């Protein structure tokens, strides 16, 4: 593939120093204190409120969290798909040396689909019902590649074949409604990958699919990642998917990151009570049937009025063990081990002890 290097002008041709005083990121993708706020009649909705992370080529970052925790808003924010008139975006998003928050809409648009692409959940509604699958892939390809329709069509058939759609030369002229759910998701992936993006964001790519198909799709994404050496952000509330695919995992709650680490760390040595809750509510094949899933009590917080102190404190069974800090002070994201960050007022030893004594046996 010709993907490895982009023409330099695309990535580096933007305004030389938009964020004066801030050093350009050396990572492929780096978010620095990203905030995405929506002013509404009821108040300011802080959907994402200070998110930072790095992601390198060929790596996968899993973002997990409940609905409304800010996962999808973050991914749309990276792609620049928020309407700048009704979303207030601040902070920095560095993609391969270009800062996107301060870039022009046109600049971001040119990166979209080509350098960064997205696989949306629910491909039935995410694909235009009036255009054939082929036409939609061709369109995606031709936006960024000045080729004839015939060439683009060949590419589309090629892509459909690559994502495992049988008889792609025939199915290319089918409409989305003529595809099955899994096939549609594959087509969606083919469309997202049509320009060999370096960054691929997959938003709940398997939620609507049954388990067999789900596994196939995940395999496909993994294979494609290896082929294209793309960086992937995998957004899901399904920890199983994350565990299977991710190198790193970021747990979001109330628009902020509350735990971040390698997949191994987050799944095997989680330190945030919310992460424990997530793990406890995850169905596992190796679990005994008699054991019941433990849903996290309470409901996600309002993004307009986050609880005082730790946003999780009203739902946290251990908030009384922090000497009142949980309800008064917001916990900083602190390194608990190398590369493993947690935002919790519980003492690190205490956390590990609770996990070992109370949580792990139930998982």
Partner 1 sequence: MPRIVFAYLIRRLIGAVIMLLIVSVVVFGIFFGIPKLVGQTNDQLAASFVGKAPTAEAIAQTKHRLNLDKPIWVQYGKWIQGVVAGQDFNNGPSKEHCSAPCFGYSFKNNQAVLPQLEDRAPATLSLAAGAAIIWLLSGVATGILSALKRGSIWDRAAMVIALAGVSLPIYFTGLLSMQIFSYNLDVLPGGGSYVPFSQNPGTWFQSLILPWITLAFLYAATYARLTRAGMLETLGEDYIRTARAKGLAERAVIAKHALRSTLTPILTVFGMDLGLLLGGAVLTEHTFGIPGLGQLSIDGIVGNDLPVVLGVTLVAALFIVVANLIVDLLYAVIDPRVRLG
Q: Is 118 an interacting residue with respect to partner 1 (CB under 8 A)?
A: yes
Structural tokens at position 108: 């971001």
DSSP 205: T
Nearer to partner 1, 122 or 158 (CB): 122
Segment contacting partner 1 by CB under 8 A, of 52-60, 137-145, 269-277, 354-362 = 137-145
Segment contacting partner 1 by CB under 8 A, of 21-29, 48-56, 134-142, 223-231 = 134-142
Nearer to partner 1, 38 or 175 (CB): 175
Q: In what order do the strands lie in the sheet with 98-99?
A: 43-55, 29-40, 88-95, 98-99
Nearer to partner 1, 112 or 340 (CB): 112
Q: Is 125 an interacting residue with respect to partner 1 (CB under 8 A)?
A: yes
- Report the Cα–Cα distance between both ends of the chain, in Å, rounded: 43
Work out which of 3, 56, 139, 238 binds partner 1, going by CB under 8 A: 139
Q: Is 278 an interacting residue with respect to partner 1 (CB under 8 A)?
A: no
Q: Is 143 an interacting residue with respect to partner 1 (CB under 8 A)?
A: yes
**Contact (Cβ atoms closer than 8 angstroms) between residue 132 and residue 179:** no
Q: Tell which residue, 358, 269, 345, has the closest CA to residue 308.
A: 345
Work out which of 3, 56, 122, 238 binds partner 1, going by CB under 8 A: 122
Pairing state between β 199-203 and 231-236: parallel
**Contact (Cβ atoms closer than 8 angstroms) between residue 258 and residue 342:** yes
How far is the C-alpha of 160 from the C-alpha of 150, rounded, in Å? Answer: 15
Work out which of 32, 71, 144, 155 binds partner 1, going by CB under 8 A: 144
**Contact (Cβ atoms closer than 8 angstroms) between residue 200 and residue 230:** yes
Q: Is 127 an interacting residue with respect to partner 1 (CB under 8 A)?
A: yes
Subset of 98-117 contacting partner 1 (CB under 8 A): 109-114, 117
How far is the C-alpha of 70 from the C-alpha of 171, rounded, in Å? Answer: 36
**Contact (Cβ atoms closer than 8 angstroms) between residue 33 and residue 52:** yes
Nearer to partner 1, 136 or 214 (CB): 136
| Shortest spacing between CB 48 and partner 1, in angstroms | 17
Work out which of 35, 58, 107, 126 binds partner 1, going by CB under 8 A: 126
Rounded to an integer, what is the distance from CA 331 to the centroid of its chain? 23
Question: Residues interacting with partner 1, by CB under 8 A?
Answer: 76, 79, 81, 109-114, 117-118, 120, 122, 125-130, 132, 136, 139-140, 143-144, 175, 177, 191
């Amino acid at each position: 593939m010709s993907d490895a290097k982009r023409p330099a002008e695309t990535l580096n041709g933007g305004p030389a120093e938009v964020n004066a005083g801030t050093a350009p990121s050396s990572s492929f993708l780096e978010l620095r204190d990203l905030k995405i706020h929506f002013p509404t009649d009821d108040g300011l909705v802080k959907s994402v409120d200070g998110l930072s992370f790095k992601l390198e080529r060929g790596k996968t970052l899993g973002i997990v969290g409940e609905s409304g925790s800010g996962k999808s808003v973050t991914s749309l924010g990276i792609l620049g798909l928020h309407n700048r008139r009704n979303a207030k975006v601040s902070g920095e998003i560095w993609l391969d040396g270009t800062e996107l928050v301060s870039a022009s809409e046109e600049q971001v648009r040119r990166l979209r689909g080509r350098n960064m692409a997205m696989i949306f959940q629910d491909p039935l509604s995410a694909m235009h019902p009036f255009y054939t699958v082929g036409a939609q892939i061709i369109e995606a390809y031709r936006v960024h590649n000045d080729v004839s329709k015939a060439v683009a069509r060949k590419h589309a058939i090629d892509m459909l074949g690559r994502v495992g759609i049988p008889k792609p030369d025939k199915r290319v002229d089918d409409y989305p409604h003529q595809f099955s759910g899994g096939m549609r998701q594959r087509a969606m992936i083919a469309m997202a990958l049509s320009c060999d993006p370096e960054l691929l964001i997959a938003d709940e790519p398997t939620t609507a699919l049954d388990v067999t198909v789900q596994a196939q799709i995940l395999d496909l994404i993994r294979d494609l990642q290896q082929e294209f050496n793309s960086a992937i952000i995998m957004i899901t509330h399904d920890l199983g998917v994350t565990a299977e695919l991710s190198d790193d995992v970021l747990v979001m709650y109330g628009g902020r990151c509350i735990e971040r680490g390698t997949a191994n760390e987050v799944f095997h040595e989680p330190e945030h009570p919310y992460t424990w809750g997530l793990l406890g509510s995850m169905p596992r094949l190796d679990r005994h049937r008699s054991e019941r899933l433990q849903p996290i009590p309470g409901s996600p917080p309002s993004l307009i009025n986050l609880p005082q102190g730790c946003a999780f404190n009203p739902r946290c069974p251990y908030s009384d063990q922090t000497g009142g800090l949980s309800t008064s002070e917001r916990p900083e994201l602190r390194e608990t081990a190398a590369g493993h960050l947690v935002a919790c007022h519980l003492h690190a030893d205490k956390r590990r002890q609770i996990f070992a004594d109370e949580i792990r046996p139930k998982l």
